Structure 1
């Protein structure tokens, strides 16, 4: 193994394959060399412990790290440092997949996850959100002396959980919490784990859609300043500019940007397929400004080259971006432009306000933003003060 005098021990047959695997995922030459040294250290330890590759798992890695620390090794390896090696060996099939925790809570959540996917047909991202809420609820309200006892749940437990959750989130998110809580309570009842239909005890969250205004709209100049702040001389800058252009000019949500695939861009017809909420798919026209930004991004070297997702990370391990990266891109643009921090959704609001200012109707704006309910788009009519002045009734006794 180049770069080290130590022999890789039990993992010797996997050195070159691991090297190629790391290179394909964008790791630098120096990082690859260090990670191969780590492989050698693990392989030597396995040989000394008479372990075979099939026995390598998280527990074995913990023992390896403990031995390394006991031997006074200066550069300690944390759990994350060992993750690429385990991932590679598991992809080869020489190391067994990680076994999930077999606690009662973990087993119940696994059943709940299967029920949401198979019985309700929910999207994976929705399932993850519902499962996280169920985990918090059961941990906080259904564990008695460490034992899972959902049969003892009452309306008091439901109210206590909702008061804690709703105290730290917005009204819109609080409504989501109630839906997530009703879902897990329905599951518990259908499985016979609770004697009562506790889902009916979940109180609704007060929220009047037309009682509040949308956040202040960003000006056209501010939106352009965010776009201009993206340097286009690096792979990160070109990618960020393409992401910002999609959000600012087409109003895409963060998750919709992350879900885009190469095949979603129809260059011949000038259209873009957008996968939105509820597994909905829409076709949007592809403006020339957006198309040019995508072309500039795709002209850069893509690693891995066979990736189907449109946007990829620029640091190893290379792969599809996550939805929260879109928020990071907008935040960095705000810092560069010297503007107050805003999220990607504010750019959607800015697009809607500008369309309204230019005379577009609410139906047209609803189609661009892909709102399922026209009442959601109706919020923007409240900030069109010029039009409102024409339709406002005069105050009694006053001359208009």
Structure 2
């Protein structure tokens, strides 16, 4: 990648300027992440151009702020270059330099509008007061922004927010979602925002109770929507276990099937969590919960085959990683996508990790397991969560029913 012509340059890459001392380290970093040699060379060429650009402005690595990196990319685009002109292209270099402390950390855009200021305050509340996970915070902030944008008055006039407006918003949201999959986030997120607005003094009344109860949760309406045993079997069979990707996908789906894991729990599984000698695995679940489960032999074998013969060489510490460089930990959404692609290959209706989790519970129920045993495997915090599976077999409801207190005779 030539900063002048855009064509690949052959021969040794000469890097001058303030970033020259970091060339070898960048090569090792990218090679360790699984990048091909040609791609590593392209990034080194981009580093050379960036170092020359900084030198021409009398800057060192400490001057490579987010704003300066953006200016560097804009100038490259203005010169007609088509390679190395996006934030994504320069991200590996900036990430490496920032981890070394050579370049300053990424600077977020300052909050300038009343909505930005309010959302920044809400984020702090979710982190410091509620202690929510990063994923939940992202979803809650997204829902909060949609609601605040919908309001006719700016954020500075929230003191007049009424329960009627809240209910009206929910009704409009419900009409727009007719015929779409259930949304389990928006209503809890709205209640959270309204509690914050009251606690922080932006709204004089607690309006969280004005949010109607959702009617979309399938567990509250009928029996759990479990994936069929035939569908799960077809999905497992669709994984090509002679290929690296197929071995990984098979191990992921088998983990969901045999252990009843959530998608995020599969993504967060660390190499150190697997006790090969003890035959146990540590699962890091919702709300910071940590449980140790027996490791089924079939699952352990699938993991071993993947780790020994398919997992790319990487510094990532998670069991499952991406199969395209950079080889990093999977996101929760990636686990869902693995399952979606497997369903498409198998020619079955698409289902997600949670429907496999339902299938595990229903299978245990059919085998005679108690509600307590099902709750223990699925690691439910409350008996009422496990109670939804009693709907599959009405006779099991008696296991959770409490004796009715005898009232005094009238």
State the TM-score, normalized to the length of structure 1: 0.84
Residue 295 (str. 1) matches residue 330 (str. 2): no
Deviation of the 1:379 alpha carbon: 3.7
Equivalent residues of 2:187, 2:211 under 8 A apart: yes
Deviation of the 1:366 alpha carbon: 2.7
Deviations 1:328-373 (A, max 9, x none): 1111212222222221222222222322333333332232222334
Deviations 1:174-228 (A, max 9, x none): 5x42322222222222222223323343333346855323225412x43222212
* Aligned equivalent of 2:37, options 12, 26, 29: 29
Deviation of the 1:41 alpha carbon: 2.0
The corresponding residue for 2:4 is none
The corresponding residue for 2:71 is 63
* Aligned equivalent of 1:87, options 76, 95, 102: 95
CA distance in 1, matches of 2:263, 2:18: 44
* Aligned equivalent of 2:330, options 310, 313, 321: 321
CA distance in 1, matches of 2:84, 2:39: 16
The corresponding residue for 1:201 is 210
Deviations 1:105-149 (A, max 9, x none): 3343333222222222333333333222223223332763xx654
The corresponding residue for 1:108 is 118
CA distance in 2, matches of 1:47, 1:168: 54
Q: Which moved more, 1:152-161 or 1:235-244?
A: 152-161
Residue 98 (str. 1) matches residue 106 (str. 2): yes
Q: Tell me, what secondary structure is at the counterpart of 1:173?
A: coil
Deviations 1:12-44 (A, max 9, x none): 222222111111111111111111111122222
Q: Which moved more, 1:63-72 or 1:238-247?
A: 63-72
The alpha-carbon distance between structure 1 residues 216 and 267, as it changes in their structure 2 partners (threshold 3 A), is closer
> CA-atom RMSD, angstroms?
2.9
Q: Tell me, what secondary structure is at the counterpart of 1:299?
A: helix
The alpha-carbon distance between structure 1 residues 143 and 89, as it changes in their structure 2 partners (threshold 3 A), is farther
* Aligned equivalent of 2:19, options 7, 11, 16: 11
What does residue range 180-219 of structure 1 map to in structure 2 within 5 Å? Answer: 180-206=189-215, 209=219, 211-215=221-225, 217-219=227-229
The alpha-carbon distance between structure 1 residues 191 and 370, as it changes in their structure 2 partners (threshold 3 A), is same
Equivalent residues of 1:24, 1:303 under 8 A apart: no
Any stretches of 5+ residues in structure 1 without a counterpart?
389-400
Q: Tell me, what secondary structure is at the counterpart of 1:272?
A: strand
Deviation of the 1:6 alpha carbon: 6.0
The alpha-carbon distance between structure 1 residues 32 and 154, as it changes in their structure 2 partners (threshold 3 A), is same
What does residue range 44-59 of structure 1 map to in structure 2 within 5 Å? Answer: 44-59=52-67
The corresponding residue for 2:134 is 124
The corresponding residue for 1:162 is 170
How many residue pairs get aligned? The number is: 383
State the TM-score, normalized to the length of structure 2: 0.83
CA distance in 2, matches of 1:160, 1:98: 39
Equivalent residues of 1:258, 1:320 under 8 A apart: yes
The alpha-carbon distance between structure 1 residues 5 and 36, as it changes in their structure 2 partners (threshold 3 A), is closer
